[in-house]
Amino acid sequence: MAAKLDAPITVEAAAGAAFVFARGRIADLSRLEEARAAAPPIFARTVFAAGEVLDLPGSDGQPGRADRVTPLLAAINARRGQGDGPWQSVWVEYPDTNDGKELSPLARSLETRLDGALRTGGSIHADATLRLHVFLTAGTHALVGTSSDPERSAWPLGIPRLRMPGGAPSRSTLKLAEAFAVLLDHGDRAALRPGLHAVDLGAAPGGWTWQLARRGLKVTAIDNGPLKGGVADDPLVTHLREDGLRWRPRRAVDWLVCDIVEQPMRIAEMIGHWIADGATRRAIFNLKLPMKKRYDEVRRCEARIADIIDRAGLNHALRMRQLYHDREEVTAYVKRID
């Protein structure tokens, strides 16, 4: 993304910190939005443009009594005076680490007080498009910034509050539920409707098949292993004990999902051919990443998918993100565009 800005950017990251500073001066913030659209962040849950790190009181041994609201409001009002805002809401966040989670009581308290003060001052409007972020790097340091569509997270810290549904045979079901929420727009989600046909490659024990069937889709589950729980007897599910890497449907399907543990390039090529050959219109899949050069591998897979589909003379859209419920992988959504 920094390369797309054509501006001097320095990146600062500390191992285990769970956040990254990309420092630089951007005269026109619309260029930041253009850069994010051209090179969407893959491994970042939340991205926002902020000023310098703000020092907060609280280092006197009594942090609970320190007045952090006043300096935060001063920094926020300075942004408003420079043309930023109004904002739809204010989120006070912190690193998703063990140390960071100790800041959660402080974050909740600050968010309540800031929200009240900003609403009283007319800086919070329900129809605004921007979101105000206060990110606590520590109890005595914070960043104040703004995010806007399309890449901002729908959840504080980028963590969706999904509960393990009763009846689902495995926790992997949450990955597909999050993919539906993060990677699909309103029109795409509308295409997850009863009566459509889907294929789940590497289905066992059935967590992804369960997500599709509960939405009323007819699912062909491909896996040599067994399905577990109620999904095994679901009338919407047909289980075929075959190799998911080789199996193809006799007729085109509406959706393909795939969570097979395999080399990422092999999965990327398989998905590309499913789209290029007209076997499916849409696919959600995971790429299990190597230990090193993960970003480079993602980009290689992205380019390979594009090459296969382009050679078929088709247009497509592709989004990739590392989701909260992912581990050493990224989740991708690709669709054919007519």
Beta strands per DSSP E along the chain: 10-13, 20-23, 49-50, 54-55, 87-93, 130-138, 141-147, 197-201, 218-222, 237-240, 253-258, 280-288, 315-321, 329-337
| 166 phi/psi in degrees, rounded to 5 | -65, 135
Q: What CATH number is given for 173-337 in this structure? A: 3.40.50.150
Q: At 41, is the pLDDT very low, low, confident or very high (cuts 50, 70, 90)?
A: confident
Q: What is the pLDDT of residues 193-227, one digit of tens each?
A: 999 999 999 999 999 999 999 999 999 999 999 99
The C-alpha atoms of residue 131 and residue 124 are separated, in whole angstroms, by: 9
User: Where does residue 283 rank: exposed (0-12), middle (13-18), buried (19+ CB within 10 A)?
Assistant: buried
The C-alpha atoms of residue 121 and residue 183 are separated, in whole angstroms, by: 35
Please list the helix, strand and coil fractions of the chain in percent, rounded to the nearest 5, in that order. Answer: 35, 25, 45
> Cα 27 to the chain's mean position, in Å?
28
Cβ-contact 282, 180 below 8 angstroms: no
**What is the predicted pLDDT for the residue at 254?**
97
Cβ-contact 209, 231 below 8 angstroms: yes
Mean pLDDT, rounded, for 69-96: 93
Assess whether pLDDT exceeds 90 at residue 32: no
CATH fit for domain 2-158, picks 1.20.1060.10, 3.50.50.60, 3.30.2300.20, 3.90.1580.10: 3.30.2300.20
Mean pLDDT, rounded, for 167-180: 95
Q: At 29, is the pLDDT very low, low, confident or very high (cuts 50, 70, 90)?
A: low
Mean pLDDT, rounded, for 222-241: 96
**What is the predicted pLDDT for the residue at 283?**
98
Cβ-contact 128, 171 below 8 angstroms: no
Q: In terms of Cα–Cα distance, which of 185, 316, 172, 322 is closest to 257? A: 172
pTM of this structure: 0.87
Sketch the domain layout of the chain as residue ranges. Answer: 2-158, 173-337
**What is the predicted pLDDT for the residue at 123?**
94
Which one from 175, 288, 292, 335 is the annotated catalytic residue?
288
Q: What residues have CB less than 8 Å from 195, skipping those under 6 apart?
A: 216, 217, 218
Assess whether pLDDT exceeds 70 at residue 31: no
> Is 288 tagged catalytic?
yes
37, two tokens: 């659209």
Cβ-contact 138, 121 below 8 angstroms: no
Mean pLDDT, rounded, for 70-95: 93
Q: What number of other Cβ atoms are within 10 A of residue 43's Cβ? A: 13
**What is the predicted pLDDT for the residue at 5?**
54
Q: What is the pLDDT of residues 86-119, one digit of tens each?
A: 999 999 999 999 999 999 999 999 999 999 999 9
> Cα 153 to the chain's mean position, in Å?
7
